[in-house]
Amino acid sequence: MYAHSSRILHLETNPYSGRALIQRHGNRELWVNQAPIPLSTEEMDYVFGLPYARVPHPMYGKAKIPAYDMIKTSVNIMRGCFGGCSFCSITEHEGRIIQNRSKESILNELEEIRDKVPGFTGTISDLGGPTANMYRLGCNDPKAEANCRRPSCVFPGICNKLNTDHKHTIDLYREARKVKGIKKVMIASGVRYDLAIESPEYVRELVTHHVGGYLKIAPEHTEKGPLDLMMKPGMGTYDRFKEMFEKYSEEAGKKQYLIPYFISAHPGTEDEDMLNLALWLKKNNFECDQVQNFYPSPMCNATSMYYSETNPLKRVKYKRREEVPVAKGERQRRLHKALLRYHDPDNWKMIREALINMGKKHLIGDKPHCLVPEEDIDSQTPAQRRKSGRHGANRFATKHTKGQPGFGALRQGGNKQGGNKQGSKHQGDGKPGANKNGARKPNQSSGSQGQKTQGNRSQGQTGRPQGNNSRPQGNNGKTQSQGGNRKPKRR
Ligand code: SF4
């Protein structure tokens, strides 16, 4: 019943043709009204043009508010998203039809930030929205748009009625860079890369002018089973975007990196899927310091998958439904998260046990194809670690990497944990985060996950998975909450 009602709710989100829903409870009825009509550009400009103070409420006095530092120079250019990812409820909160501000209104806000924000240095931290690159995109056919019941315009493929021309976004970026007093405009909102590859010029513009060394994008998984239930594109699209990103970075003479994000324990993910993802990470030399462990949150389809173990993306009948495997219970959820952080020695014991149970003992050892070593890192020599390809190769440090094993040692001089040139180059990015054995300090977390909507990023507002499960998880009572200030939004 829950899966069925969730399906109906998501089918009735079109503001022009969706119907109000009524559910009877005893002698009372619960009404869900139709989605509101999207705001016009004039109305959006009016809302965003109101005389906001742009400073925290005076009740906070001189208190330091970390979120304010990030948000004070961040500009929202639109509302809504037509991506429809199952784990996200931005579509339910803001609508599937994009509501755009005018270019003039956005440029005015940049000038206002320049003139009003105390301590403004000339850098705009973000020019985006729920998704960075859906500005002025939408359905080409108003009649189809008014009657459409598809939950996504881009899954399972980009709808042939969707306008994917990024010219307005490109123009906006160029104009924003020309505003007097603005030195740098960053794009920190999630880039929907399956859309971006439709416009190589957009990718060039983004990569050449708006990436600060690292660009975070969110494939979310590598395996088809979970990806289909998430309503996300396959890894082929990621590979095409990566090619373009590297090509344009090289053309611009910049050394830049893509940072992929993944979700563990999303409904539909089996142990084997997580293992394949971990092997992909290992093969591609990624050691994620920011991971999300799926957490059910209100209104999204993935939540109804989690509780009902049924696929609401397909028709749900009384006796016929598509079952969805769900990672439930502390042990399995911890294992899925641990596989994303296969490089963390705290997780090796659990991964070894799981590999033995799965009949994958050959992935334990010091050979390059192995996922975890037979023994803990303390007993390995640096040469053994290098040979295994673990904690070496293409490891890179980001500002969030401070909690990873090995980087503390790098900072303190010397490649004791097998870091490389890139790691060394960035060693000043983080605080000492590891003890002499390369293990994380107790309670050291690499951040928290949150999400941005309408310029405010707060955890859980819009129902994205918030994997920052900060319960003590290690055998030794360490807190193993890996996360990071994930930019809201979607991808
Ligand atoms: S017809 Fe296609 S582009 Fe138009 S709203 Fe529906 S899915 Fe989106």
Tell me what pLDDT residue 53 has: 86
Tell me what pLDDT residue 387 has: 57
What's the mean per-residue pLDDT of the chain? Answer: 80
Mean per-residue pLDDT, 333-350: 92
What's the CA-to-centroid distance between 97 and ligand 1, angstroms?
A: 10
pLDDT for 198 beyond 90: yes
- The minimum-distance atom of ligand 1 relative to the CA of 138 is 3
- The minimum-distance atom of ligand 1 relative to the CA of 152 is 7
- The pLDDT tens digits for 138-147 are 999 999 999 9
pLDDT for 45 beyond 90: yes
Distant-in-sequence, close-in-space partners of 383: CB < 8 Å, separation ≥ 6: none
Mean per-residue pLDDT, 246-275: 93
With a threshold of 0.85, does the pTM exceed it? no
Tell me what pLDDT residue 439 has: 36
What's the CA-to-centroid distance between 481 and ligand 1, angstroms?
A: 39
User: 456 forms bridges with which residues in the sheet?
Assistant: 453
Residue nearest to ligand 1 atom 7, measured at CA: 153
Return the best residue to mutate from 137, 148, 165 for the ligand 1 pocket (most ligand atoms within 8 A of CB).
148
Tell me what pLDDT residue 457 has: 35
What's the CA-to-centroid distance between 308 and ligand 1, angstroms?
A: 29
Return the best residue to mutate from 141, 161, 192 for the ligand 1 pocket (most ligand atoms within 8 A of CB).
161
pLDDT for 260 beyond 80: yes
* CB-defined site of ligand 1, < 6 Å: 82, 139, 144-145, 148, 150, 153, 159, 161-162
Residue nearest to ligand 1 atom 8, measured at CA: 153
Q: What's the distance, CA 32 to chain centroid? A: 29
pLDDT for 285 beyond 80: yes
- The pLDDT tens digits for 10-43 are 999 999 999 999 989 899 999 999 999 999 999 9
Tell me what pLDDT residue 419 has: 36
Mean per-residue pLDDT, 456-469: 35
Pick from 106, 81, 268, 257: nearest CA to 175: 106
β-strands 162-163, 74-76 pairing: unpaired
- The minimum-distance atom of ligand 1 relative to the CA of 163 is 3
pLDDT for 257 beyond 80: yes
- The pLDDT tens digits for 300-334 are 999 999 999 999 998 888 778 889 999 988 899 99
Tell me what pLDDT residue 469 has: 34
Helix, strand, or coil here: 25?
strand
- The pLDDT tens digits for 107-117 are 999 999 999 88
Q: What percent of the chain has pLDDT over 90?
A: 56
- Least confident range from 250-264, 297-311, 399-413: namely 399-413
76 pLDDT tier (thresholds 50, 70, 90): very high
Mean per-residue pLDDT, 281-303: 88
pLDDT for 418 beyond 70: no
**b/e for 76-105, b at 16 or more Cβ within 10 A?**
bbbbbbbbbbbbbbbbbbbbbbbbbbbbeb
Tell me what pLDDT residue 291 has: 80
Tell me what pLDDT residue 249 has: 95
